[in-house]
Amino acid sequence: MAQPSNHPVGVDNTFRRKFDREEYLQRAREREEQEADGRFKSKSKGPPVQRKPLKHRDYEVDLNSRLGKTQAGYFCSVCECVVKDSANFLDHINGKKHQRALGMSMRVERSSLEQVVMLLSTAGMSLNLSFREWCRSDLNVSRSAKIQNLLLKKKEKAAEEEPELDPDVAAMMGFGGFGSSKK
């Protein structure tokens, strides 16, 4: 049989645990001081960040490239998020979160008269034209474009129609038609 050893087995934990009240009071005071310092520091974050005013995009959003795909959706590399469809992607791009990530606020800078005149002149609009003249010229351009499209469609349709069989060629080949009684 096994000989009992002189070493005690287990730990002697039969004594009653005693709490040092002074030590725990000191810990509680230190914790309260740290919380008070944390509350004070969170309020003083420093000067507010000055963001640029909102401006229009200088690029075109390509929504058609993902049209008909069955995969995840649209990925925003700025915010690193995936959006399910094109409508939500446009909402995200024009939204606060994305604009803030680009460093812009949602406020628009007020334009001066000189800026508007310069923008219109660079866009090719002449300020000498009256509004009615401008509308008429725009209407004429759109009408001529529609007429050109109609003519183009008629030409394509005429080209698509198969030429009818010549009666001499049909008689030579041995049939008069495809059995239709219509002429």
pLDDT at 142: 81
pLDDT above 80 (res 42): no
Compare 26 and 7 and report the one with higher pLDDT.
26
Higher-scoring residue by pLDDT: 130, 53: 53
Helix (H), strand (E) counts: the chain: 6, 4
Q: Mean pLDDT for the chain?
A: 80
With 80 as the cut, is the pLDDT of residue 80 above it?
A: yes
Q: Among 88, 87, 104, 86, which residue's Cα sits nearest to residue 96?
A: 104
Q: Could you identify the residue written with the tokens 């929504």?
A: 63
Residue 177 to residue 72: CA distance in whole angstroms: 55
